């Protein structure tokens, strides 16, 4: 199928034109506000034209956004204009580089409305920012690390620092099937700690990288009211949503810039409230982080502020590209991106849920909300054959690749949300590990599917700045092409989508 952009506000044109046009007209009747995002079609044609020139459908914006041509040209022009050196000096080239780094730092703080109360620490990525918090937060006996089941593994990993320091670790559960935070249970956990408390940290994502759920940001104030510090993972949220840290004020915010605007990679950020920064205790020091260090006296004095956390030499030549990316997002408009993503997500969800095999069975199971209420453009699913057998998502990804569709499969570094979605229990995990202690996700998938008919992974598509109707239309037609497919089934077990119940063959 050859589908490309036409001038009609992102309408696909080309092969099977009549059916495509009918679908697009129906889409516009349901989402007339999409017309107001037509500037993104011109942007795609000029700045991201490589997508349509290569007939590529990119559906992995939660994995990483795409960069615009002008971002690369502007960064190259900046590098070509200046002579820049390692910023850890007072030389001419070092001073010039330092000025650009600090200019970018101010731009980041301004973007998030954080100038008055926050410090911006540049890191390699969001994971490095989270590790700063984990290894430096003053966990200890009587302390507590509370986190939601829906979290990235880099947030889960902080539990190792907490446990090693004698703090309690607790997970707050999700509701099913929408995979939202169980607010009543969380409120009980937040309010249960005795006073006066040891340091307590509550961590949650502003938006799930698994289900697309936008978790309520007023949890920050609720946690503060009970004496908790808050760590907000904003990586999946900020590419298409405004985060105003003048209104929502967690102690720690982590993000990666490539998820916002594609380039540069290798630069993330920890936004930390200044009073919270003073409570962190680094377990080591490195080049660039100290004002004084002695071998003979075995003493060191950590540099104040962000300098004490920016280990070694920053990716200094890439950092100015962050400000270029922020200017690009500002010119496009987050509200425009958000509107487009919401419209396309709504249509995609409805179309996928409407797909059925010839025998009437649903083809697709969506994990998380099936409407656009309080959710972003991340849609995670599994596909099933006419008998209800789970299709191997790895084979589905291979077939999508053959159609020049880029999506993502696996657990997306968020095992908690996947376990909640499939109803996997601690006993399920323990039994699988007992069967094979050298566990990997593919091995676990085979074990859990053959034994219980459950999945340990899924298919994820996600929308972003350059997504258009042609993209979601092609993906829906791709999935529809698997109607009555039986050769991709993974196990001889049946999952009834209507009742959300596993039915073994012959039962």
Burial degree of 370 (CB within 10 A; 0-12, 13-18, 19+): middle
**Structural Rg of the chain based on CA atoms:** 24
**Residues 319/107, Cβ–Cβ less than 8 Å:** no
Peptide bond into 264 cis (omega under 30): yes
**Residues 431/450, Cβ–Cβ less than 8 Å:** no
Q: How far apart are CA 474 and CA 480, in angstroms?
A: 10
Q: Which pair of tokens denotes residue 172?
A: 């707050």
Q: Which pair of tokens denotes residue 199?
A: 């340091």
**Residues 150/176, Cβ–Cβ less than 8 Å:** no
Give the CA count within 13 Å in the CB-facing half-sphere of 475: 30
Q: How far apart are CA 233 and CA 413, in angstroms?
A: 13
Query: 269, 411, 413, 500: which is the annotated catalytic residue?
Result: 413
- Picking from 327, 469, 498, 496, the residue whose alpha carbon sits closest to that of residue 23 is 469
Q: How far apart are CA 158 and CA 254, in angstroms?
A: 13
Catalytic: 343?
no
Q: Which pair of tokens denotes residue 293?
A: 């260090």
Q: How far apart are CA 412 and CA 152, in angstroms?
A: 8
Q: How far apart are CA 302 and CA 87, in angstroms?
A: 18
Residue 46: count other Cβ atoms within 10 Å of its Cβ: 11
Q: Which pair of tokens denotes residue 414?
A: 């968020």
Quick check: helix, strand or coil at residue 146?
A: strand
**Residues 345/375, Cβ–Cβ less than 8 Å:** yes
Query: Which residues participate in catalysis according to the annotation?
Result: 413
């Amino acid at each position: 199928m050859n589908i490309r952009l036409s001038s009609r506000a992102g309408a696909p044109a080309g092969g099977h034109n009549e059916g495509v046009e009918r679908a697009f007209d129906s889409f516009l009747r349901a989402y007339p506000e999409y017309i107001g995002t037509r500037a993104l079609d011109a942007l795609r044609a000029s700045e991201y034209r490589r997508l349509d020139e290569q007939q590529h459908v990119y559906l992995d914006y939660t994995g990483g956004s795409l960069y615009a041509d002008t971002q690369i040209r502007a960064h190259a022009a900046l590098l070509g204009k200046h002579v820049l050196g390692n910023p850890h000096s007072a030389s001419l080239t070092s001073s010039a580089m330092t000025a650009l780094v600090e200019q970018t730092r101010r731009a980041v703080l301004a973007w998030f409305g954080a100038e008055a109360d926050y410090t911006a620490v540049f890191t390699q990525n969001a994971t490095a920012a989270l590790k700063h918090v984990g290894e430096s937060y003053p966990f200890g006996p009587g302390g507590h690390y509370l986190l939601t089941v829906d979290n990235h593994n880099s947030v889960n990993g902080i539990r190792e620092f907490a446990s090693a320091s004698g703090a309690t670790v607790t997970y707050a559960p999700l509701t099913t099937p929408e995979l939202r935070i169980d607010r009543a249970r969380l409120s009980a956990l937040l309010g249960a700690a005795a006073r006066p408390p040891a340091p307590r940290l509550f961590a949650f994502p502003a938006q799930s990288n698994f289900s697309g759920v936008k978790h309520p940001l007023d949890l920050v104030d609720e946690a503060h009211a009970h004496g908790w510090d808050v760590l907000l993972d904003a990586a999946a949220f900020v590419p298409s949503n405004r985060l105003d840290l003048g209104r929502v004020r967690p102690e720690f915010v982590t993000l990666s810039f490539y998820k916002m605007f594609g380039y540069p990679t290798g630069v993330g950020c920890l936004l930390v409230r200044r009073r919270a920064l003073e409570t962190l205790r680094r377990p080591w020091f490195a080049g660039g982080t100290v004002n004084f260090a002695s071998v003979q006296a075995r003493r060191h004095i950590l540099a104040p502020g962000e300098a004490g956390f920016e280990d070694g030499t920053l990716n200094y030549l890439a950092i100015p590209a962050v400000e270029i990316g922020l200017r690009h997002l500002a010119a496009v408009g987050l509200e425009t991106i958000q509107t487009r993503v919401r419209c396309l997500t709504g249509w995609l969800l409805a179309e996928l849920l409407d797909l059925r095999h010839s025998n009437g069975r649903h083809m697709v199971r969506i994990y998380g909300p099936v409407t656009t209420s309080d959710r972003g453009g991340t849609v995670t699913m599994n596909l099933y054959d006419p008998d209800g057998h789970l299709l191997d998502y790895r084979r589905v990804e291979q077939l999508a690749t053959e159609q020049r569709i880029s999506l993502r499969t696996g657990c997306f570094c968020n095992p908690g949300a996947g376990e909640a979605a499939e109803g996997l229990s601690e006993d399920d995990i323990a039994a699988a590990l007992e069967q094979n202690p050298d566990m990997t996700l593919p091995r676990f998938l085979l074990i859990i599917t053959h034994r219980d008919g459950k999945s340990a992974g899924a298919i994820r598509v996600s929308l972003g700045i350059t997504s258009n109707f042609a993209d979601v239309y092609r993906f829906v037609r791709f999935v529809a092409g698997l109607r009555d497919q039986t050769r991709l089934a993974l196990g001889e077990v049946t999952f009834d989508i209507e009742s959300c119940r596993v039915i073994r063959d012959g039962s």
